[in-house]
Amino acid sequence: MSDRLSLGNYSLEITDREVVVRDQRGTVLETVSLDSLSGNLTLPDGHQVDLAALPADADRGLTDLDTAAGPAGTGNFGPAGTNTPGSFRAFSDSPDMFIARQGAGTLGNTSLQYGTVDGDPKPADEKETLLADGTSAVPFTWSSHDQWQVAENQSGGAFGRLVDGDPQDFTFQVSDPRFEIVDGILQLKAGESFDYESEPFVDLVVTATSRTGETQSQPLRIEIVDRNEAQTDLGLDNMTVQENAPGAVIGNLTVVDPDAGDSQTFAVSDSRFEVVDGQLKLKDGIALDFESEPVVNVTVTATDRGGHSIAEQFTIGVGDVNEAQTALSLDGANVPENAAGAVIGNLTVVDPDAGDSQTIGGAASREGV
């Protein structure tokens, strides 16, 4: 059997052969043989503990405990009303009564506070309490910590310990099933994550029950830290433009970005285009010609403040406009006289609109004929 005592920032697990020193999280810091102790045990922080001065508790394994300096209890405790030293054992008729092996009498059926560090009595809030049934009360203190946070989109992760002392002295429940408590440490389960835009913080309640039956609940708030996320879509609400329209606006660009209010910068693959105030347009003085280029493929890239980029290719259709002819010519200029119905020559019309039809009409007059 072993006995476990809480002393400040440490707990001691004592058997009849050795002392195991643990920190508040239950991690073993060192193991010391009782044969090597001359009464005082030096804790990792330098404090001295006089083991021989601690009373024994048969239910927890300190009965007739002997150190190199003598039996446990020889320093401070004896039978009620006396100052007789002795190592303690459980009274045979009742587990919550104690007597000294070297004297008659009992310590009484009451709670008892005890403990010595550096030779001075421990403050009341640091002393360990024996309950009426002979068990030791578990100190119940929620651990202090800075505000707990987790980055959005992060899967899993540990926050910190919940109570001071040995976590194995407690059982825990947490109100949010996305969390779990492992060895007294609050953790986000693997595969669980949060989205800042929909849930900027999480409120939960942790309930702890000590091995001696005390139950306490503690509300906690976990802050979700916003992270810049990549855009998910890039769209254009119009993809046609009329030919011969310098500086024409093609349409409005829309970027879907999970980060509300994130700004975007744009780049266009075709140097004839630009993005101004979220609109894709031809640069001033630049126009397109249907006859030579009925469609234009343009790739637009949007980059947000976090450096994430999204690119999309748009096919811009160029609308045909009926344009005026630019020239009319006749390849003949002479005709023989008296040649009724003679052909003078071929007319040629230059029209930018390929395949456009022409209607030709005219009148001629001669005076003195």
Residues 271 and 217 in one domain: no
Q: What is the pLDDT of residue 75?
A: 39
Q: Is residue 195 part of a domain?
A: yes
Tally of domains within the chain: 3
Task: Please say which residue of 176, 199, 225 terminates a domain.
Answer: 225
Task: Please say which residue of 225, 241, 258 terminates a domain.
Answer: 225
Task: Please say which residue of 102, 130, 158 terminates a domain.
Answer: 130
CB 117 within 8 A of CB 46: no
Q: Is residue 217 part of a domain?
A: yes
CA distance 8 to 122: 9
Q: What is the CATH number of the domain that holds 304?
A: 2.60.40.60
Containing structural domain, residue 306? 233-319
Residues 56 and 100 in one domain: yes
Q: Is residue 360 part of a domain?
A: no
Which band of pLDDT confidence, cut at 50, 70 and 90, is reported for residue 135?
Answer: low
Phi, psi dihedral angles at 130 (to 5 degrees): -90, 125
Q: What is the pLDDT of residue 363?
A: 43
Q: What is the pLDDT of residue 56?
A: 44
End-to-end CA distance of the chain, in Å?
Answer: 145
Q: What is the pLDDT of residue 278?
A: 95
Which band of pLDDT confidence, cut at 50, 70 and 90, is reported for residue 173?
Answer: very high
Q: Is residue 64 part of a domain?
A: yes
Burial classification of residue 123, based on how many CB atoms lie within 10 Å of its CB (0-12 exposed, 13-18 middle, 19 or more buried): exposed
Per-residue pLDDT at 125 exceeds 60: no
Q: Is residue 327 part of a domain?
A: no
Residues 170 and 204 in one domain: yes
Q: Is residue 281 part of a domain?
A: yes
Residues 214 and 247 in one domain: no
Q: Is residue 135 part of a domain?
A: no
Residues 9 and 49 in one domain: yes
What pTM does this model have?
0.46
User: pLDDT of 292-347, one tens digit each?
Assistant: 899 999 999 999 999 999 999 999 999 887 666 777 777 777 778 777 777 877 87
Give, for 173, the enclosing helix (H) or strand (E). Answer: strand 170-174
Q: Is residue 334 part of a domain?
A: no
CA distance 252 to 300: 12
